[in-house]
Amino acid sequence: MFKATMVAWIDDYAPSMGAALSYYTVFSLAPLLVIVISVAGLMFGADAVRGAIFAQIDGLMGADAARAIQDLLSSVSKPSTGILGTVLGVVVLLIGATTVFGELQDALDRIWRAPARAKTTGLVTLVRTRILSFGMILGIAFLLMVSLVAGAGIAALGKWWGVWFEGWEVLAQIINAVVGFVMTTAVFALIYKLMPRVKVSWGDVWVGATVTALLFTVGRFLISLYIGKTGVASGFGAAGSVAVIFVWVYYSAQVFLVGAEFTWVYAQRFGSRRHRAEPTPEDSLVAPPIPERSQQGAPDLDVVAVTAPVMASLRAGPAQDGGALHAAVRASGSSVHPPSPWHRPSALLVPAVAGAALGAAVVLISRLLPWRKGRGS
């Protein structure tokens, strides 16, 4: 399983996908936090929710990174003036917060071999993705509220039982760790189930989400240790806090993608897709299945099957058009998989420019036309 997962991780160009995902995550972080704090703050108050979130960020990334995110959140939460400013601020805020989920869906679609989108449904797909992304944000806010309720309940029980039970503090830490692990697993399960444009069974989702939560729990400790020991922030001077955020988000994205690849491998070998005799349109448009992908050093039978009739056609004489060549490829009974879109410069240029423009627009417009009263801290 581990070998097949890593082979799939390499074949799907996960390092490149993780870089794109981390880029969009950093620019979507402040708008996302604004919405989550606003929704969860309806029950507990914005200050309490903000304090809990930044306490977690401080523990994960360090005080400098937490302070940088807090300053960015404060700039996004400036008071607005006028109806037009409020409306524009809300629209920009929603676009900025949901952008990362669109990139997340593209990454999961590639891992799960989702069929290509029809060009005629581009606008419908965009609207659907944004609505689904906003639903995911509300789901994260709900899970945050559940976590805060659990923390408040544990604190209340501690006041009652702490007098008679000497080991209550240790037990409370264990309960907090278990609750945090369950919440992390639930977040990963929601993403793995709802974001891909293919049907993924809950059995596959829960196994993959649990493994990903374990990897994330161990990985965040190792990432924090790496950031603290290597002095990443000091090497970038004034931009050190931003560099720490990018490094932490990038390696967290890699952990997430490894978990997604594990979920796909599990589904193919032991889960809901193990009985499929031949690839379906969901599986065959991007890459070959695991047995073919994991062979190293063996000749590629698909390439041999395609090359032989094509070379025979070329020896017979040049064709006046591409019909003979196309017929030879089809006669071989094999399919040629399209090259990775991540290796086409034109495919990388458009999202890079669009992402940069969107990030600049989010920061600029939210500074000029923010959407809510009061300054966050």
- Rounded Cα–Cα distance for residues 153 and 150 (Å): 5
Q: Could you tell me the CA-to-CA distances from 362 to 21, 146, 314, 339, 349 in Å, in that order?
A: 17, 30, 55, 33, 20
- pLDDT tens string, the chain, 377 residues long: the values are 888 999 999 999 999 999 998 888 888 888 888 888 888 888 878 888 888 888 888 877 878 788 888 887 877 666 555 667 667 777 777 777 777 888 888 899 899 988 776 555 566 667 776 777 777 777 777 776 777 777 777 776 666 666 666 666 777 778 878 888 998 899 899 889 988 888 899 999 999 999 999 998 888 888 877 777 777 767 777 677 888 888 888 998 999 999 999 999 999 998 888 876 544 444 444 444 444 444 444 444 444 444 455 445 444 554 444 445 444 444 444 444 444 444 444 444 444 445 555 555 544 454 454 444 443 43
- Rounded Cα–Cα distance for residues 342 and 111 (Å): 13
- The end-to-end CA distance of the chain, in Å, is 46
Query: What pLDDT score was predicted for residue 48?
Result: 82
* Residue whose token pair is 């400013």: 85
For residue 374, what are the contacts with CB-CB under 8 A and spacing of at least 6?
77, 79
Query: What pLDDT score was predicted for residue 77?
Result: 66
Query: What pLDDT score was predicted for residue 211?
Result: 94
**Please, are residues 246 and 183 in contact by the beta-carbon 8 Å criterion?**
no
pTM value is 0.65
* Residue whose token pair is 């969009």: 24
Query: What pLDDT score was predicted for residue 219?
Result: 84
Q: At what angle do helices 168-194 and 122-161 cross, to 10 degrees?
A: 170
For residue 39, what are the contacts with CB-CB under 8 A and spacing of at least 6?
137, 138, 141, 142
- Rounded Cα–Cα distance for residues 340 and 180 (Å): 37
Q: Where are the alpha helices (DSSP H) in the chain?
A: 2-11, 14-44, 46-61, 63-76, 83-111, 122-161, 168-194, 202-230, 232-235, 240-269, 290-293, 301-316, 323-331, 345-368
Query: What pLDDT score was predicted for residue 163?
Result: 61
For residue 113, what are the contacts with CB-CB under 8 A and spacing of at least 6?
198, 279, 282, 283, 284, 285, 286, 287
**Please, are residues 111 and 285 in contact by the beta-carbon 8 Å criterion?**
no
**Please, are residues 288 and 338 in contact by the beta-carbon 8 Å criterion?**
no
Maximum CA extent, the chain = 93
Query: What pLDDT score was predicted for residue 267?
Result: 92
Helix (H, G, I), strand (E, B) or coil at 119: helix
In one-letter notation, the amino acid at residue 112 is W
**Please, are residues 350 and 57 in contact by the beta-carbon 8 Å criterion?**
no
- Rounded Cα–Cα distance for residues 158 and 164 (Å): 10
Q: What tokens appear for 328 in the block? A: 């030879």
Query: What pLDDT score was predicted for residue 69?
Result: 84
Query: What pLDDT score was predicted for residue 330?
Result: 45
